[in-house]
Amino acid sequence: MRALVLVGIVVLLAGCGDEAEAPSQPLRAPATTAPAPEVETSFVREHGIRAVWIYLLEPLAEDPAEVVRAAAGETPWLRVALAENVDELESFPVILVSHIEGKEKLDLPDAEVLQYKARGFDEKDAERLAQSTAALRLESVAEGASIVKTLRAVDAVSLALTKSHGVVVEDEETREYFTAAAWEARMNRAWTGDRPNIEAHVVIHAIHRDGGPLRGVMLGMRKFGLPDLVLDEFVRSNFPPVGKLMNLTAQTMIDWPAPAIPSSLPLDLHAPSSAHLFARWKEQMHERATGKAQVRLETVEGEPGDPENRLLAIRFPRYPGKTALERQEACLGEFFGATDSVEYVKHNELVEAASRRAREHLLRELKPRYLKGLPVGESLLVKAPFKIAEGKNEWMWVEVTGWDGARIEGILMNDPFHIDGLKAGAKVVVEEATVFDYLHRKADGSQEGNTTAPLLR
């Protein structure tokens, strides 16, 4: 599924007859769903657990529980207790307080970690965090209807403590570090009335696997008493739409009206509970977008680095395709509505020369860079030929997932018009000598390549 819709083009190479070419950007076509037999199960909410750290320059002189009670203010329904007394507790909600003294007992982040996980920091904030010698850890435990209001209360208490005593607040579930101002800004966008806005409560980590498809892992759902979500694999350039689909799944779980959440979960971007998401995403929805999907949630075991929480994998058994990636692509294409189109044109000497220059740049500059490992957020695609009838080719985009000698391994990013049995999401192999053009997408949203496209219009 592509986030940008352009008119498709078909290319004629000299001496080869009419040949079909994918759009000048890799796009996706809507697919019709094909129901598959499923065994229905459900997942229940457990206790909502929220843990934060408030880092301190010096240990507290006062009783830690009393400091937290004072910050909690007028919340008689929310009890505060020292964590060592947890066995004496009989009811919830409660905030369990730990006071950690000694720099050696703190797992302070280094500069590399802060580069990715600091929110609202400047150099002075990083220096003050490094100087911390103590911390308060607050762990709230709530159940049922009290989960949401406890979450809001603990966030407010954390803000008050950071302003009055602390340096930085850490969200233990999402593994982010906030200044007081950044924490307050997140609180302000985290709620619509009493309804949580999912994008402010969770993060999604894209786990890189030797240049191949990524694995997506959500962190932050434990605070709602719900499992975190996993997407087993997806291509790099699909991270934006995949992230949106994972967020909508999480929002739907939070807002589900019954105690048990079904494993076959309908998603609807136009539902009232998703109005805040639709407002943010509507400009990225394309013609024929349904904004609806049906996903399957399955319990999976965690991997090293995953959140300490139950995990549910998102799968797409109701969509057509031979592989998980093909079914995922079909779902994304239907949900976001991007379309492929095709036209027929002829190459000329200018086009062929531009193609040669693009291929030379790809092999000279980008292949070594890819083999060293692309930075987080970058992806590389190539336009390659696929044989059709009468010796002709259909040219389509492939996202590179491996490069062995002259062989490029990748994931097909277009649905063919002339090749039965091949779908977007299929794993394919391309010979580098046959590449027609490339597209290098960067983490800042810019891109380079696709230089032949203007010559084909």
pLDDT by 10s per residue, the chain, length 457: 433 322 233 333 323 334 555 555 554 444 444 444 555 678 889 999 999 999 999 999 999 999 999 999 888 899 999 988 666 667 789 999 999 999 999 999 999 999 999 999 999 999 999 999 999 999 999 999 899 999 999 999 999 999 999 999 999 999 999 999 999 999 999 998 888 999 999 999 998 876 678 999 999 999 999 999 999 999 988 999 999 999 999 999 999 998 899 999 999 999 998 999 999 999 889 888 999 999 999 999 999 999 999 999 999 999 999 899 999 999 999 999 866 666 555 667 888 899 999 999 999 999 999 999 888 788 999 999 998 877 788 889 999 999 999 999 999 988 888 888 888 889 999 999 999 999 999 888 899 999 998 887 6
The amino acid that residue 34 corresponds to is A
Considering just the CA atoms, what is the radius of gyration of the chain in Å? 25
pTM: 0.84
E strand intervals along 344-436: 379-387, 393-404, 407-412, 427-431
H helices of 300-425, where?
Answer: 324-336, 349-361, 367-372
Local structure of 453: helix, strand or coil: helix
CA 76 – CA 34 distance, rounded (Å): 53
pLDDT of residue 63: 95
Kindly report the length of the chain.
Answer: 457
H helices of 74-218, where?
Answer: 111-117, 123-130, 146-164, 180-189
267: Cβ–Cβ under 8 A, 6 or more apart, which residues? Answer: 245, 248, 249, 252, 292, 293, 294, 295, 335
CA 412 – CA 240 distance, rounded (Å): 18
Q: Where are the domains of the chain?
A: 12-29+341-456, 48-189, 204-336
Extract the tokens encoding 422.
């091949």
pLDDT of residue 330: 92
CA 43 – CA 262 distance, rounded (Å): 6
Extract the tokens encoding 445.
């949203």
Q: Using CB atoms within 10 Å of the CB of residue 304, give its burial: 0 to 12 exposed, 13 to 18 middle, 19+ buried.
A: exposed
Contact 376, 206 (CB under 8 A): yes
Please give the backbone phi and psi of residue 94, each rounded to the nearest 5 degrees, phi first.
Answer: -155, 150
